[in-house]
Amino acid sequence: MTTYIQFLLIFLFLSTVLLVTSAQTTLSNHSDREALLGLKSSITRDPSGALSSWGNGSSACTWTGVICKHAGRVSELDLRGLNLVGTISPHLGNLTALRSLYLQDNHFAGNIPSHIGRLGQPEMLNLSGNLLTGTIPSGFTNCTGLVTIDMSGNTISGDIPSSIHHLYKLQVLNIATNQLDGSIPPSIGNLSLLRTIDLHTNNLTGKIPEVL
């Protein structure tokens, strides 16, 4: 009888764990879907109709530019070169399993949302060749898994965040052809894996840190 009770307790425990995990996965998948639809709602022009597949009750993993991996979570969003017009929705910050974001060569305008800092552990962030303004949000340095950042070819202004040294995995940093000002933070020299840095055509002042 004791063995039976032990078996029953283990079975109930495992069943509970599976139910909780399943519920969490369903909730996360719903959050990913809503985040993508939030982005779609912030796009005012889609000349090629690339986002026409987004919605209509279908799985977000089947939508144009969306790649899913573990447990159906969105791991990559690739909308490069689609001539999309609009703004980058802060809802993107809810894609917490995202590893790669490609929004380059479109017509996204406005600020880079600070919510990008909630993405979790993205490795690739490419926002180049758009019409983005405002400053680089300091919160994006919370994404400590970033390997490549490309924000070149916009009209971003303000300073390079002094907290950039938190991106200890960073290998490529391209923020050229913007309107950045101020000095290059010396802390950038602490990025031991950095192999490519492009800052040309900005309004940066001061000396180049000796650590570079």
Q: 137-196: per-residue pLDDT in tens?
A: 988 899 999 999 999 999 999 999 999 999 999 999 999 999 999 999 999 999 999 999
- Asked if residues 87 and 110 have their Cβ atoms less than 8 Å apart, the reply is yes
66 beta partners: 77
Q: Which residues does 199 contact at the CB level (< 8 Å), separation at least 6?
A: 175, 176, 180, 184
Does a structural domain hold residue 212? no
Which two structure tokens, joined as six digits, stand for 195?
Answer: 């192999």
Range of the domain at 126: 2-204
57: domain CATH number is 3.80.10.10
Residue 211 located in a structural domain: no
Q: Which residues contact 16 (CB under 8 A, 6 or more apart)?
A: none
Of 102, 167, 108, 181, the closest CA to residue 139 belongs to: 167
- The two three-digit tokens of residue 126, written as one number: 């490419």
Query: What phi, psi does 120 have (nearest 5°)?
Result: 100, -105
**In the chain, pLDDT over 70 holds for what percent of residues?**
86
Q: Is residue 210 part of a domain?
A: no
The DSSP result for 89-103, as a single string, is -GGGGG-TT--EEE-
The answer for 193, left when phi > 0, alpha when psi is -120 to 50, beta otherwise, is: alpha
What pLDDT, on a 0 to 100 scale, did the predictor assign at position 58?
A: 85
Among the ranges given (25-34, 59-68, 89-98), the one the predictor scored with the smallest mean pLDDT: 25-34
Give the C-alpha separation, 116 to 120, whole Å: 9
Rounded distance between C-alpha atoms, residue 186 and residue 61, angstroms: 42
Give the chain's domain count.
Answer: 1
In this predicted structure, the answer to whether residue 21 has a pLDDT above a threshold of 50 is no
**Higher-scoring residue by pLDDT: 137, 56:** 137
Structure confidence at residue 7 as a pLDDT band (50, 70, 90): low
